[in-house]
A and B are shown apart, each in its own frame.
Chain A
Amino acid sequence: MAKIIVNGKNQEINENCSLLELIKTNNVLQPEMVSIQLNEEFVNRENYESTLLKDGDAVDFLYFMGGGQ
């Protein structure tokens, strides 16, 4: 297991979990609606599958929020 931080909260994940898998385990139903930062760097969408997470990583999901009226 690896300990990471997702949106400021501790989370345990399997070793070598990819960002794409993390999206699924965090129930992000519309991955196209989220931008992801890994350790404060944005990750290109096409690299979600190849980006593997390790102990101590910090991930932020940034959601599109379009309302205002």
Chain B
Amino acid sequence: MARMKFVCDAERCIECNGCVTACKNEHEVPWGVNRRRVVTINDGVPGEKSISVACMHCSDAPCMAVCPVQCFYRTDEGVVLHDKDVCIGCGYCSYACPFGAPQFPSQGTFGVRGKMDKCTFCAGGPEANGSQAEFEKYGRNRLAEGKLPACAEMCSTKALLAGDGDVVADIFRTRVVQRGKGAEVWGWGTAYGSAKGGA
């Protein structure tokens, strides 16, 4: 069974924001809401690193744990989605998420906070696949169209990888082996069983 995951390769990300643009265009995300954004560490300093961040579709999602109305659910592919008809816009998920993924449109009267919006892994939501209602609430359902998330498929340097976790891990592992460095990163031994890496 596929387990959908994102990984951003900090060695490749050039902070072009192509992923952000692709996401906003694909889903017609309203002004002020960014389902994905690029974060740069040591900006302007030689050796700066950038990564593209959105909902990571956690296996043990804290947003899902704290939601008082239980509007979240997880698909069989491991994609964390939510029902906007159940969401009350309380913002608990925003505080719980370590990635800042939940977004809230604030274009209503008196700046009222609307229903939560976040990355769907281009998997839509609890409406009929490919329907207009699904698109208006959650954006396009590319997974049901047989495609991968637009952000990753549009990434010019292929820094952002998306898809089945096994495939993504295989791609990233090959890159690290080819580079001859990167195996020292935290978690490598846990993921691949060897502190030195290698295929």
**A and B: bona fide binding partners:** no
